[in-house]
Structure 1
C-alpha cells in the first residue's frame, strides 16, 4: 500500500502518536502492579489506534509468558518490532503487523517505529518498577521475620530458664518419693508417669534453648563430611520403612569447620527426618555438601508436597507445625534455626523441581 499522504494527514498522524504516548503514560501511572493485564491490553489498543492503517493493523505485546493481542492476526504479515527490557535484560517485545500482500515494510512510518520504541521503553520502566517493589517487599518481610525470630528467641530463653528449676524440683522430689513408697506399685507407677512427663518437658525446654541460641557449645575444628555421613547412616531404617532412596553428594572428602558436632548432627537429623515424613513412598531425598573459599553449603531436598507461601513465613517459629496433631511438637525447625544461627550461619527454603522443598544452609568459614 502506498504511503503518499498529505501534509494534513501527516499532522493528524503526529497528533495520534502524541495522544497515544500521553494515554500510555496515563495507563502506566495508574496501573495496578499486582495485575498488569488490563494495563498492557489498554496499551495495545492505544498503540493500534495510533497506527496509520489501524483497522488492518495488529498489535502483540509479549511479556515473559503472557501475550496480549489486539486487532487482526493474519498468518502471513509484515511487521515492526521493539524489545521490552527491564534493567537492560530483554523480557518481551511489542510487534505491530499488517497483512502481507496488501502491505510491505515501507507501509510503516518512521515516526511509528519511534513510537513503538518509546512505548516499549515505557513498559520496560513499568516492569522495572514492579520488580523493585517486589524485591523491597521480600526484603521487608525477611527483616520482619528476623525481628520476630529475635524477639521469640529472647522470650523462649526466658521461659526456658524459668521452667528449668521447677522441672528439676519435680524430678528430685519424685525420686525421693519413690524411695519412701518403694513397696507400693500403684504409687511407683504414678511417680514414673510424673517423672516421664517432667523429662519430656525438660527436652522441650532444651529445644527452646537451642532455638534461642542459649545452649553451651563444644566447638571443635572437625571434618563435617564424617558428621553428615554418620547422621545419614543412622537413619537407614527410616529410609527403608518408606522405601525412600537417599543420594548423598559430598564435593570434597575434607571440609573442615569449627562446629559443635552434636548440634550439627541434630540439624541433619531434624531436616532429613522431616524430609522422610513428607516424602511419598519410593521418593528420593538428596543431601549435598560443598564448599567455597568463604562458606560451607549443605542442601537437603525432598519430593514432598512443598511449603506454601502462607506457611513459609512461620516454619522456623516454635510450636508451628504442618503435621497432624500429636505427630509433631513444632520445635524441630526452630531448633535447626537456633543451631544454625548460633554458628553464624543462615538457612532458607525454596521449592524443589518439579515438587518438594530444598533447605539450604550456609555456614561462613570465618
Structure 2
C-alpha cells in the first residue's frame, strides 16, 4: 500500500513539473517570435522604405559669421525649422545663433532658419502670430505667449532662457520714488497694449492701485534717455536695460524700479511652439530644445566671441534697419564699434537674467507660469484657464506615452504569453492547494510511517516549487524589461535614420541572449525539481551556485549580499536535486530571518570545504540567530515562527530528513554574534558513513 502510494505521488510530481516547464517554454517562444518579428518589421522599413520627410517653409537668406561662404542646400534627411525672434539680431538671441553657427542644430538633424522680427519693409513680425499661423515652427516670447494662447492656437513653452523678466522702469536719480504709490504723482510713460506696461500694471494692482489712474501716451517710438532728460516723462520703461547703457555713455545718473522687487516674478525670453507640434513630433521639439540650450551654454561661456560674431554678421542690416529700435532716420545711426559695445553690454545683462550657471538653462517652473497667468487674469487681460499639462513641454512625459503606444505593437503576443503565464501560476497555486489537501490526508494516515514520510516530502516539494515559481517570475522581470528597451532603441534608431545592419544584428543577438537566459532559468528549475532515483557524484559549488542563480532576483530585491567560497572541484556523492532542495530551504529560511530582523548589513555567506571523508557546507546569515526557547523545536514537523498561512513548518524538518536519509549526512547549527550558521556534513564518497556520535545541534549564544 505504502509503495503504491509513493509511486502515485512520484508520477503526479513528474507530470506537474513537465506541465510547468512546458508553460514556461511556450511563453519564451511567443516572446521570441514577437521580438524577432518586430525587429524584422523595423528593419524592412529602415532598409526598404523611407517615409517622406515634410519640408518646412521657404527659407530666407541666412545671416551668419560666414555669410560670404556658399550655403549648401538642406540635406534630404534634415528637417527644416524656422525660429522667429521677437526683435532684430543682437546678443539677446546669442544662444540661437551659437547653436546655428556651431552646428548644434545640424547635429540634431535640423536645418534651422533664424528670422529677425523685422521684414524687408520694416514691418514687425509678432513671434506668436507667426507660430500660430504656421509661418514659423518656434518663437521667442514672454507674457505675450499667454496672451496669444488666449485667442489663437494653443501654445506650449519649451524652455525659459531668461529666468526673470528683462523689463525695468527708469528715472533720473534726482526723481524721488520711495514706493509704487509715489508713481501716482509722476509722469509715467505708458502705451496702450504695450507688453512693457503689463508688469507695471501688475505692480500697481499688487499695491491696490487701479492702473487707469495713470494715463497713456500716444508716443509710437521706443522710450529713450532723452525722454527723461527732456522732462517729457519722469518714469520710462526699458527692455534689457538699454536706457542704462545710454545713461552711462551720457554720464547721467539714473535709478531703476524692477518688478521683481515688488513680488512680480515673470519669466523673460522663452522658446515656445504650438501644442500640436509637441504632440505630433515631440522628438523634433526635444532635439531643438537640447540644441538650443547647448547653443546658449556656448554663448554664455564665450560672450566676447559671440558679441563680436553678431556685430560682424549684422552690423549692416542693423544700420539699414534704423527703424528697428523705434528711432527715426539718422538719430539712430549706430557705428559698428557702437554696436559691438552694445552687444557686450547686453551680454552682461543676459548673463544676469539667465542666472547661469546657478540655475539650469531652460528651467521651467509651472508654479511661476501659473502665478503669471493669475496676475494677468486679475488685470482682466486674459479669462481662459491655463491647461498646464500641455502649456509646459515635458518630453519625458510625452516619451512615456509614446513608449506605451509603441508597446501596443506586441500587445497581442504579450497577452497570449501572459495568459500562459497566468495558467502557469494557476498550476503553482493548484500545487499549493494540493499540498494542503495532502496535509489533511497525512493527518488521517499518521499511523503509517512510510505514508507519512511520502506525504510530507511531497507537500514540502510542492511548497518549494511554489516558492520557486515566484523566484522565476521575479527573475524574468529584468530580461523582459531589457527586451522592451531593445525594441525602443530600434524604434528610435529607425526614427532618426540611424538603424543599420550592424545595429540590427546586435539587437537580434542581444534579444536571443536574453531569451536564452530565460530558457536557462527553466532548465535550472527542471534540474532543481526533477526527482532522481539514483545517487551520483556532483560538484557541490556548482549545485549551490545554480540555487543562488534561481534566487538572485529576490536576493537583490531584498538587498542581501551573498558570498560563495570554496573549491570548484569539491564533489559529493548523493542525490543532487535533494541537496539543491536542502540548500534552497536553508537560504529561503535565512532570507525570511533577514526580512524579519532587518539588520543594517543583510548578508548570507556560503562556505564549502573538505574534511575527509566529509564535505562541510556552512550557510551563515545576519538574521539575529535562533532563540534558546525554540532550539529543540526547529527541526520538528509543522513548527514555524512565521504568521499563520505564511509557512508550512516543514522546511527545516524536510531539510534534516533529506540530509540524513537521502544524503547520508547530518545537519547542526551554531549561533554567532549577528545570526546563525547552518552546517551540513555529507559523505565525500559513496562508502562514507555517518558519524553517529555527532550531535544534531550546538549553540553558544543568541
Question: One fold, TM greater than 0.5?
Answer: no
Q: Normalising by the residue count of structure 2, what TM-score does the alignment of the two structures yield? A: 0.24
Rg larger for: 2
Q: Normalising by the residue count of structure 1, what TM-score does the alignment of the two structures yield? A: 0.44
Higher strand share: 1
Q: Could you say which structure has the greater relative contact order, defined with CA pairs below 8 angstroms and 6 or more residues apart?
A: 2
